[in-house]
Structure 1
Amino acid sequence: MAQVHIPETREQGELPENRLLRQSIRYRGRKTLRAKSEIRRLEILEATLRIAARDGLRGIKHRAVAREADVPLAATTYYFRDIHELISDSFMLFAEKARDNLDGFYDTINLVLDTIPTETLRRGGPQRRELAARLSVISTAYLYEQFTKRRQQVLAEQVFLMEALRDDRLAGLARSYREAWTAGLRQILERLDSPSPVRDAALLVNVTLGMGYDTLLNDQRVDYNALSETVGRVIGLALGEPEPEPS
């Protein structure tokens, strides 16, 4: 099985939930020993993700994936014994990429917090409202990019999470994926002296998933100002502060 490489420095300070997600990412398809074979395997999985986002899981067939990846039909059956193994491994690849993307966002937030005076990080501290506004700007920019430039990934996320409700073999990874997402937020909220970091981390995840779903459902351009207003209100709530003033 292909192993996910995680830099040693990140593992040392890794949250238990993040470690659980990393350990849950286990590919079931044929093990690859050569770089060329690994590239082809990833091309097949990337093609599967594109089909999942475009046509849903019902569109994932060996022949359709081979055509999308521009590889011989025999290549898909060589690396993956059946459709479920192909679907499962594509979810693994999605979770791996999504985790790295989230880690980058959390790293950015934590770097910002490293520059903030300790008294401001405490609830009711000076310039707390300005900090909430700054975090709102960063978070809005991140979500705007997700909902516009990474729209296919957002759609694939919705597809896989819905499929996990029906497939116990995917449900475990979906839970680990969500727990890792929530854990990173909880750690940040704890640094910010949130009144209820566990509850508010779950709230932020639910709101973000809902916004992603609404964006896809309405199939319209994302209103940056409306997104900023929503993010500002939620962050202000999580920090126990009034809604931050527009930047």
Structure 2
Amino acid sequence: MGQMEPTTGTKVKPQAELVDAFPAYQGRKVARAKSAARRRAILEAALRIAARDGVRGIKHRSVAQEAGVPLAATTYYFRDINELISDAFLLFAERASHDIQSFCDTLGLVLDNQPPEDLARKSPRRGLLARRLGTIANAFIESHVNGGRDRMLVEQVFLIEALREPHLAEMARRYRHSWIAGLRGVLERLESPHPHEDATLVIDLAFGMGYDQLLGLPGGEAVSLKRGVERMVNLILGVGYE
């Protein structure tokens, strides 16, 4: 994925560009709809196992049992377990990229409907815009933190496993970059002086909130999440802290 030049008014990157940043699936290619459905069912089963038992629980036999397919099916579509794990992570990463792009598209629509002068960093209406964006960001993060425990577990499991396994590390880097790149386009339009760094901070905070919620730490409840998101948006947009 190429670097974006910081330009006021830059539109959010199209969804296809973020999704195409990921490598191709490694498993056996299929053409028939029935074969594609079975292959996907195997990957879906691997993701459920990852959320329940961790990556180490993903074995050909356990995945076949979870998917309700013959053991021979998993070895037919995936030559080894690393190939199956990589493709399962890729399926998860593509879904997450669609989520972040949908979120960025929503933010982009809000910005499209603002007068150009309201997007300026020194605009007197910056606080109002910050509140609108904060409401959208809070709804997005809250829905993921409070309504997607399995999704967050899979994310944590794969990212931690990527620290051990080189074949997952590059995909983990691209996965993280897809989140940062989407937000960076929005922050450039808002005249952030450091859009890449600010986007990284937002992603780090969102990931941290998810981790804290999984652990049951204070701060995972709705009120605390809302306050944290509002403060993050205000800091990045330079509202009340300059």
Q: TM-score, normalised by structure 2?
A: 0.89
Give the conservation status (yes or no) of the 8 Å contact 1:182–1:205: yes
Kept after mapping to 2: 8 A contact 1:21/1:173: no
Sort the Cα spacing of 1:17 and 1:107 in 2 relative to 1 into closer, same or farther, 3 A: closer
1:188-207 matches, cutoff 5 A: 188-207=186-205
CA distance in 2, matches of 1:225, 1:122: 30
The worse-fitting range, judged by mean Cα deviation, of 140-149 and 227-236 is 140-149
Which of 137, 143, 147 does residue 149 from structure 1 map onto? 147
> What is the Cα deviation at residue 18 of structure 1?
7.3
Q: What secondary structure sits across from 1:184 in the alignment?
A: helix
Q: 2:221 aligns with which of 220, 223, 236?
A: 223
1:154–1:45: structure 2 CA closer, same or farther, 3 Å change rule? same
Q: 1:109, 1:14 → 2: CA distance?
A: 9
Instruction: Give the corresponding residue for 1:136.
Output: 134
Deviation at 1:22, TM superposition (A): 1.7
Q: 1:53 aligns with which of 51, 68, 74?
A: 51
Distance 2:175 2:35 in 1: 27
Query: Secondary structure of the equivalent of 1:39?
Result: helix
Deviation at 1:222, TM superposition (A): 4.3
Deviation at 1:166, TM superposition (A): 1.2
- Counting aligned pairs with the same residue, the percent is 53
Unaligned runs of 5+ in 2: 1-10
Instruction: Measure the CA separation in 2 of the matches of 1:64 and 1:14.
Output: 41
Partner of 2:157: 159
Paired residue type of 1:118: P
Deviation by residue 1:141-182 (Cα, 9 ceiling, x = unmatched)? 111111122221111111111111111111111111111211
Aligned-residue offset at 1:60: 0.6
Of residues 181-190 and 14-23 in structure 1, the stretch that sits farther from structure 2 once superposed is 14-23
Give me the CA root mean square deviation: 2.1
Pick aligned residue for 1:117 from 115, 126, 132: 115
Which amino acid is the alignment partner of residue 235 of structure 1?
V
Other-structure match for 1:101: 99
Q: Deviations over 1:110-155 (max 9, x none)?
A: 0011011111111120221011111111111111111122221111
Q: What is the identity, as a one-letter code, of the residue corresponding to 2:214?
A: L
1:74 and 1:221 map into 2 onto residues whose CA distance is 46
Number of aligned residues: 231
User: How far 1:76 sits from its partner (Å)?
Assistant: 0.9
Q: Shift of residue 26 of structure 1?
A: 1.1
CA contact (8 A) 2:27 2:83 kept: yes
Residues 36, 219 of structure 1: alpha-carbon distance in 2 compared, 3 angstrom cutoff: farther
1:96 alignment partner AA: E
* Inter-CA distance 15–104: structure 2 relative to 1 (3 Å threshold): closer
1:237 alignment partner in structure 2? 235
How far the C-alpha of 1:16 sits from its partner, in A, is 10
Check conservation: 2:107, 2:133, Cα contact below 8 A: yes
TM-score of the superposition, structure 1-length normalised? Answer: 0.88
Q: Counterparts of 1:221 and 1:59 in 2: how far apart (Å)?
A: 31
